[in-house]
A and B are shown apart, each in its own frame.
Chain A
Amino acid sequence: MPEMIKSFRPYVTWANERGAWPDMIFSTRVRFARNLEGFPFPNRAEPRELAEMRRLALTAARGTGLFPRGHFLKFETLGQLERRFLVERHHVSRLLAGAVLPAGAAVSNDEDLSVMINEEDHLRLQCLASGFAIEECFAAAMRLDEALGRALPFAYSPRFGYLTACPTNAGTGMRVSCLAHLPALSRLGRMPAVLENLSHLGVTARGIYGEGTVALGDYYQISNATCLGRTEGEFCQNIDRVIRNLIRQEISAREALLKGRARLRTEDAVYRAIGLLRHARTLSYEEFMQNVSLARMGAAMGWSVGAGYSDFNQATLLMQPAHIQAAAGKALGPEDRDAFRAELVRKTFR
């Protein structure tokens, strides 16, 4: 198994149940897009400049003191499995994972803070937290931003704010997002209407891995659609309002699933899902996510499903393909992966 993967913990610290509304909000993330004065943006930079950029960024990240015993990574030294592992942990995007040019990342020991280097922008820094925790997450991301902004000259103009490769990110350069688990709204077929509504509120909904991905396991990543013309606080407040509203809608959908005859059907679906998780001999990640989504909802309804939110959160991360191979200690083909996943799932949901 690659040394890099061994240097990460076998579980994800920040994903344990902590913040508010753990039954509906998996995690909160705040990220800032930043670039350095005096360098072309990565898409126009030469490999030599990207390497210099990365050296400066990694040195600055170490210098902030916010990454003690952290991970400082250069992508050309990483194989496919390690890159995939970092994507699955939400530290780097799929775009960066596919990078052939000098790219890098710094990840804190607790994995709550990370910096992507030479993705679409020179720096994408982020803070991740469990549950609904916008304020806390924003404060931590801002501390990282301020520390890096003192060490490096960020590209900034009073008119357009922080300057980014794509004008859609300029201004605050901030995206605040919550990964919401909305199984009842999905089950009742209300999601298309909910998403349609969201599009009027200045927010964007995406799948679990970000842009262009499907809503695996009824998870929706909700983030601000624009980042210029309002303050960081206003963007946070807007997401806060939207998420609270979504929570209310999901609560009423869950109540509808427990009313009258619907209750039996809901109970049946949840316990069938648990049966499948406890007994399946082969499980793809998609099938696992479908069923764990129902089991998680069952836990929220107070039924005995044999696992808590921390278990669900960890499993959602640790049952992904690269993590399965990391747990097996060797590369596995899809079939062996699905068999080994089923084995691990059986242990978790005993």
Chain B
Amino acid sequence: MKLCEECRKEAAAVFLKLAVNNKITEMHLCPACAAKKGMGFGLETGAFNIGDIVGNMSGYFKDFLPPEKKTLRCRGCGLKYADFKESGRLGCPDCYSSFEAQLVELMARIHGSAQHTGRAYAGGAELKLSKAEAARRLEQLRAELNEAVSREDFEAAARLRDAMKRLGNGHA
């Protein structure tokens, strides 16, 4: 009898073979572990999730994400990498550059590739923020700038000053 590769206790009843863009992963799982991975084989009730692993991935993420330092955080929104592992959702576009090394590995596992080859984006118009939102953002940037200057992080300060300029309201 083949044991479940996940819990190593129950008999494996589900053979899972994923072939995504020529990359093949094989697994023998017991029904309970298969269900945890979002692959409840409820075919008899008409509910199906085969191949739906990329839709319900929290279990999948946990297993396949590379190990990383606990303190890794996004430079943009402050999301902890560990929290991403839990939820499977990133916090902002900057997460992609903050966690690039980890995501390259993850993308290769999900998509079978970590390089976009589709249409390139030429860029769009600057955001026309409402006055209230622009003022709020400016205020926030000013506070961050002061903090960066006080801890003598001039690289961050320069970045923040540029961001303030882009907001179109001059500088501090």
Chain B residues within 8 Å of chain A by Cβ, number: 58
Whether B103 and A167, one on each chain, are in contact in the complex, defined by CB atoms closer than 8 angstroms, is yes
Q: Which residues of A contact B114 (CB under 8 A)?
A: 159-160, 228-229
B119 touches A167 (CB 8 A): no
Are the CB atoms of A36 and B107 closer together than 8 Å? no
B130 in the interface, Cβ–Cβ < 8 Å? yes
Q: Tell whether A214 is near chain B: CB-to-CB under 8 Å.
A: yes
Size category of the A interface is 35 or more
A166 with B89: CB separation less than 8 A: yes
A40-B77, A204-B54 known; A151 and B120 CB under 8 Å?
A: no
Does the CB pair A228–B113 fall under 8 Å? yes
- Are B17 and A195 closer than 8 Å at their CB atoms? no
Cβ-neighbour of A171 out of B48, B56, B77, B111 (below 8 A):
B111
Least Cβ–Cβ distance between A105 and chain B, in angstroms:
20
What are the interface flags for A193-228 relative to B under an 8 Å C-beta threshold, 1 for contact and 0 otherwise?
001101110111111000111111000000001111
The chain B residue with its CB closest to the CB of A169 is B54
Q: Measured between C-beta atoms, what is the minimum distance from B75 to chain A in Å?
A: 13
Q: How far is the CA of A149 from the CA of B127 in the complex (A)?
A: 12
Chain A 34-73 near chain B by CB (<8 Å), digits 1 or 0: 0111111101100011001001100100000000000000
Residue A347, interface by CB 8 Å: no
Flag if B125 contacts A153 (CB, 8 Å). yes
The answer to the question of B51 belonging to the interface, with a C-beta cut-off of 8 Å to chain A, is yes
Whether the Cβ atoms of B123 and A207 lie closer than 8 Å is: no
The answer to the question of A174 belonging to the interface, with a C-beta cut-off of 8 Å to chain B, is yes
Q: Please report the C-alpha to C-alpha distance between residue A154 and residue B126 in the assembled complex, in whole angstroms.
A: 10
Which chain A residue has the least Cβ–Cβ distance from B106?
A167
Residues of A bordering B, CB below 8 Å: 35-41, 43-44, 48-49, 52, 55-56, 59, 120, 148-168, 170-172, 174, 191-192, 195-196, 198-200, 202-207, 211-216, 225-232
